[in-house]
Amino acid sequence: MAEAPAGREKNRTEGPRRGSTVVVIGSGALPGARRMSDDKGLKRFNGEAEDPGKDLKRWKAWAMAKCMTMKDLKSHQRGPWLFTLLDGAVFETVEHLSLEEIAVKDGHRKIWEALHNRFLEKEKHDQMGEALGEVFSLVASEGESSKQWTARVKETFERCRRKADTDFPKAARGWITLNCVGLSEQAQGSLDFIR
């Protein structure tokens, strides 16, 4: 029986027949062999992020957009296709669904419903608390240029406006920016930052 070259894993359950070709999957040895993780352009969802509800929202937007770009994907194939992209705790959430349940016109809706019930997005007030917490915990990093600091502060205020629907007045943004940068009062006084 022929052996796979040293350092390569054999993935077969029975030995090769005389005259047959052995394909070693996962080694990259053959140009035509593809591993499962080499599916370019596909994102899997496992729910292991710090905020799985937020991660689900992002992944769902990607998955729905991807479905729209796949011209040969029929509506009854969406559920099974989504099912193949789920891992870990997410897979466990939907593994009770049978192929017959999800391989119908709106079968993908059953998957989305199960995922939304399991991986809840944070409440609006929790999102607001996080966004405001980011604003009030701003601290300049050592070696951070004024350009980098300003960009980071602007992005933090913008994120607070988007997520928490809270827009600080211009004077408050200036005061927070100035006080969190770590300048002395004398240095702050020499800046004409707040008008």
Per-residue pLDDT of the chain (195 residues; tens, 9 = 90+): 444 445 444 443 444 444 433 333 333 332 332 333 445 678 888 888 777 888 888 889 999 999 888 888 888 898 899 898 888 888 888 889 889 988 899 888 898 888 888 887 766 767 777 778 888 888 888 888 888 888 998 998 988 888 778 888 888 888 888 778 776 666 666 555 544
User: Residue 48 half-sphere exposure, CB side, CA atoms within 13 Å?
Assistant: 9
Report the run of H or E that residue 116 belongs to, with start and end. helix 107-118
Domain end call among 118, 140, 174 = 118
Q: Are 175 and 150 in contact (CB under 8 A)?
A: no
pLDDT of res. 186: 65
What number of H helices and E strands is found in the chain?
9, 0
Report the run of H or E that residue 48 belongs to, with start and end. none
> Considering the domain boundaries, does residue 83 fall inside one?
yes
Q: How far apart (Å, rounded) are the C-alpha atoms in residues 28 and 21?
A: 15
> Considering the domain boundaries, does residue 85 fall inside one?
yes
Q: How far apart (Å, rounded) are the C-alpha atoms in residues 112 and 185?
A: 54
> Considering the domain boundaries, does residue 46 fall inside one?
no
Q: 195: Cβ–Cβ under 8 A, 6 or more apart, which residues?
A: 171, 174
What letter does residue 38 receive in the DSSP assignment?
Answer: G
> Considering the domain boundaries, does residue 47 fall inside one?
no
> Considering the domain boundaries, does residue 194 fall inside one?
no
Number of domains in the chain: 3
Residues 129 and 114 in one domain: no
pLDDT of res. 173: 86
Residues 33 and 59 in one domain: no
Domain end call among 68, 99, 118 = 118
Q: Are 115 and 56 in contact (CB under 8 A)?
A: yes
- Beta pairing partners, 45: 86
Q: By residue range, what is the domain housing residue 91?
A: 52-118
Residues 67 and 104 in one domain: yes
- Burial label for 170, CB within 10 Å (0-12, 13-18, 19+), is exposed
Residues in the chain: 195
Residues 132 and 110 in one domain: no
Residues 113 and 129 in one domain: no
